[in-house]
Structure 1
Amino acid sequence: MTSHDSHPSSVPPPELVRFTAATFARPGGGAALADLTWAARGGQTWAVVGPVGAGKTTFADAVAGTLVLRAGEAEWPLVARARAAGRDAYFPRDVVRTVSFKEQSRLFSYGQHYYQERFNFTDPLDDITLAAFLGAGATSGPEAVAAVATRLGVGSLLESSFITLSNGQVRRARIARALLAAPELLVLDEPFMGLDAAGREDVSRLLGELVAGGTRVLLITRPGAIPGWVTHVLELDGMRVRWQGPVEAYARQEKKAETENVPVPVSGAAADSPPVLELRDVTVRYGSRAVLHGVSWTVRAGERWALLGPNGSGKSTLLSLACGDHPQAYGNDVRVFGRRRGTGESIWDVKRRIGLVSPELHLYFNEPLSAARAAATGFHDVMAARPTTPDQGATVRRLFAEFGLTEVADRPFARLSTGQQRLVLLVRALVKEPELLILDEPFQGLDRPAIDHAKEWLDRHLRADQTLIFVSHHADEIPASVNRLLRLSEGHVAEMR
């Protein structure tokens, strides 16, 4: 996958992809990108930025050759160059690999599994290990698979079931798998999404090393998260090009500090409120591996908690106990809304009082619904469409208006941008005004204005008796009303205040 793009200074590097006044559409749909003129040359590394719904992921699809050209010209000179070099390459898909938010390959589909299954996955006939996931389609053998996995920080998980991996681990696995396919161009759609601060730094450094070694990368990212190894920026807005040129000339948004070590004041509120969630000396094991060690935590009605910790620290497992998704809740002392799990209540008794957004829920949400109908499933705690009342429909419309989603209400959920989908799922969690709101990385895929608006909405509109547990790897995403902190490290409570 090493390029040979060095040329005498008087000769410009060869073009890799070129669009001239190109208008693209999705198969069976209307125009997706209009009047697009852009070219990428060897030696250039482009970052594509823009607000929610600007067309960033759609642009990545155009580069990968999966859209229909309706007007103008689209050429991929890198395909002919790869074929001349001896590769079996005839179409963009033969030489371009995209790491997208969802994994829907023939090898593994989240839609074939149910959400709770990831915590109790034991069927050997339907299992797939991380090693098998990475090895499928790789151009080299097991040794290379192990080496790349280790480099991406998932080498110790090669024999783990893919469905049990955390969001951050899955992100690393997708990047590793794309690299093993030896693409001529690697398209990364928000590769830092779901990674903690250390993980973001590590992956950025790794990608920078790959770029320095000749790997051609196209990056979809936030305006304030453009790595130093990027040379050019393309800004989209409303499915059109707003700006393009060298990174030095790009007017970057001022980047806010991304540290989790921010002061969190101890709250004196709700001290006499009833417990909503109680964990008493909880330990969770997968075989011989413990992912939670003796965790005790009490969350009272009306409290606002930040749950922090690096990838793999146990946050997702802890939340799955609270939501009733984890079978080991029954073997531990876990009390939700005052009742110990396993004393007669069903999982639906728990879920009807909880609103949830999480990366894993997003991965599993594959129903062919409109955005509005997808949000309305939150009234019934399922992922399939159910009849709604006029009042429920009005609630969805009101929240869509408040979150700027009215224009996409009737569009297929699957065709929305990642950020728009995340906002729809946030509305889904809010529609029934739950007693406990669990927001696990709710702002993934959102731009800064959308994040700030959502934070302000939560601060202003949550009732005093509603409880919030908020998870993020970015301190500047935490709402101002959050005033309690639980930090996990390797399954242990590292800090509580």
Structure 2
Amino acid sequence: MKNTKHWAIFLSNNANKQVFIQQVLAKKATGILADLNQTEGLLFSSLTVNEFIDEENRHGFTALTKHLDRSLKSMSSGEQKKALLHYLVAQKPNYLILDNPFDNLDVAAQESLLAMLHKIAEHTSLVQLINRERDLLPFITHVASIEKNNQIVFHEDIQVFLEEYRQAQASTFVGILPPPIKQYNLEGQELIRFNKVNVSYGEKHILKEITWTIHKNEFWHLIGPNGSGKTTILSMITGDNPKGYGQDLVLFGKKKGSGETVWSIKDKIGYVTPAMTDLFSTSHTLEQMLISGFFDSIGLYIKPSELQIKLAQQWLVLIEMDKLAKKPFFMLSTGQQRMALVARAMVKHPPLLILDEAIAGLDDHNTALVVSLINKIANESTTTILYVSHRNETGLYPRNIFQLTPSQEGSTGVIMK
């Protein structure tokens, strides 16, 4: 490994990494990467995995899995990436471009992938594209960043660059949260209660005797490896999963199946997931998208009141995006979109805010912004927060942790202190 060069390219959410990748693979790299123009490289990316899955859907098999007894679709994210890495290395490239290799992997899968990359790095140069410093491979020898206008800046001293990089990420919001537009009259302190809840699909067991109570004004982290049932639990809380019927599951004071409606449940929940970004079309301005949070709708079909418009504008001032109010939502940066989604979920001050991988895919700067906003909501509102991720996030301080552990009989849950 001593004679093998390895590069880390830090990306912001404004960088066009696809242009960079195409440039390198087309042997048009510049600067200290110019040496790669005389060699052959391959791309290790989630997009590459998806291309093989599409091929599998069309033809029933792929070159990647022809020696395996499993399909790509049946594998976890970690298993898919391992299979891809074995396939690429077998072709003996001179270098590999690693596009955010640890994205969407739980802790165990990250450690396993890192061990593989350590061995590969002994004989193959690696070009790591990353959004987060915490994912930096320990054996990187050179570092660069892609700045505005896709300019590549190379940094001679890695430690000096990292110190300056960390200082640039710090962020906080100094304004106050806009007030709620209405009060939710919920008796008692309990919001959600699971009592020995089980979920199975045929012979596949998902959850085993989950017992968990979420109270008002708490900040929870639901954590567990990929496939441990986090999404299933969320679908039970939002009322979308029919498996909740006939079980000891209480949602906002009413036992599941006692006459509540899905809409009465959703009215009390603010929900954020990265996939929501695709729901807002070219016709939605940032302000319209934010106001739609009062109605839990995708688009505005009811004329908002003056108070709703005023509160939405106050949220935009808080997150320092008021000057972008009339800009189409789809034209905002990834970080701006994510901030707006959190604000949209909070405009009505719901009793429960669910943040499902709300930070996934963000660079360090935008992560710091979203973390700062989440902490502000936790400290200054009465909304209970349920943060869902398979990773801990630096600077985010949930007071309670509910951890899922998979088993053949279904995942069990335990409250961590």
Q: Residues 228, 290 of structure 1: CA spacing in aligned structure 2 closer, same or farther, 3 A cutoff?
A: same
| Residues in 1 aligned to 2:26 and 2:218: alpha-carbon distance in whole angstroms | 55
Q: Residues 326, 478 of structure 1: CA spacing in aligned structure 2 closer, same or farther, 3 A cutoff?
A: farther
Deviation of 1:355 (Å): 0.8
Q: Residues 347, 141 of structure 1: CA spacing in aligned structure 2 closer, same or farther, 3 A cutoff?
A: same
- The yes-or-no answer on 1:438 pairing with 2:354 is yes
- Bigger relative CO (Cα 8 Å, ≥ 6 apart): 2
Q: Which residue of 2 aligns with 1:76?
A: 26
Counting matched residue pairs gives 380
Q: Name which of 445, 453, 465 aligns with 2:382.
A: 465
Q: Summarize deviations over 1:91-126 as a string: whole Å, max 9, x none.
A: x9xx757535996x6976xxxxxxxxxxxxxxxxxx
Q: Which residue of 1 aligns with 2:144?
A: 234
Unaligned runs of 5+ in 2: 30-35, 167-186
| Residues in 1 aligned to 2:294 and 2:377: alpha-carbon distance in whole angstroms | 18
Query: Does the 8 Å contact 1:99/1:178 carry over to 2?
Result: no
| Residues in 1 aligned to 2:28 and 2:381: alpha-carbon distance in whole angstroms | 58
Deviation of 1:404 (Å): 3.9
Give the TM-score, by structure 1 length. Answer: 0.63
Deviation of 1:213 (Å): 4.5
- The yes-or-no answer on 1:281 pairing with 2:196 is yes
| Residues in 2 aligned to 1:192 and 1:135: alpha-carbon distance in whole angstroms | 29
Name the structure with the higher helix share: 2
- The yes-or-no answer on 1:399 pairing with 2:356 is no
| Residues in 1 aligned to 2:416 and 2:253: alpha-carbon distance in whole angstroms | 21
Q: Residues 392, 377 of structure 1: CA spacing in aligned structure 2 closer, same or farther, 3 A cutoff?
A: same
Q: Residues 199, 228 of structure 1: CA spacing in aligned structure 2 closer, same or farther, 3 A cutoff?
A: same
Q: Name which of 317, 336, 360 aligns with 2:232.
A: 317
Q: Name which of 17, 20, 26 aligns with 1:63.
A: 20
Deviation of 1:336 (Å): 0.9
Q: Residues 49, 172 of structure 1: CA spacing in aligned structure 2 closer, same or farther, 3 A cutoff?
A: farther
| Residues in 1 aligned to 2:18 and 2:244: alpha-carbon distance in whole angstroms | 41
Q: Which residue of 2 aligns with 1:151?
A: none
Q: Residues 198, 178 of structure 1: CA spacing in aligned structure 2 closer, same or farther, 3 A cutoff?
A: closer
What are the within-5 Å matches in structure 2 for residues 352-367 of structure 1?
A: 352-359=267-274, 361-362=275-276, 365=279, 367=281
Q: Summarize deviations over 1:356-414 as a string: whole Å, max 9, x none.
A: 1235x448646444444444443333445545524434434433332344465555544
Deviates more, 1:310-319 or 1:414-423: 414-423
CA RMSD of aligned residues (A): 4.4
Query: Does the 8 Å contact 1:282/1:292 carry over to 2?
Result: yes
Deviation of 1:283 (Å): 0.7
| Residues in 1 aligned to 2:331 and 2:281: alpha-carbon distance in whole angstroms | 12
Deviation of 1:207 (Å): 3.5
Deviation of 1:296 (Å): 1.1
- The yes-or-no answer on 1:494 pairing with 2:404 is no
Q: Residues 107, 472 of structure 1: CA spacing in aligned structure 2 closer, same or farther, 3 A cutoff?
A: closer
| Residues in 1 aligned to 2:87 and 2:292: alpha-carbon distance in whole angstroms | 38
Q: Summarize deviations over 1:76-103 as a string: whole Å, max 9, x none.
A: 2279xx9x99x9xxxx9xx757535996
Q: Which residue of 2 aligns with 1:202?
A: 112
Q: Summarize deviations over 1:420-444 as a string: whole Å, max 9, x none.
A: 3322322222222111011222222
Q: Residues 409, 46 of structure 1: CA spacing in aligned structure 2 closer, same or farther, 3 A cutoff?
A: farther
Q: Which residue of 2 aligns with 1:99?
A: 46
Equivalent position SS for 2:133: coil
Q: Residues 229, 210 of structure 1: CA spacing in aligned structure 2 closer, same or farther, 3 A cutoff?
A: same
Amino acid at match of 1:230: I
Query: Does the 8 Å contact 1:335/1:341 carry over to 2?
Result: yes
Deviation of 1:242 (Å): 7.1
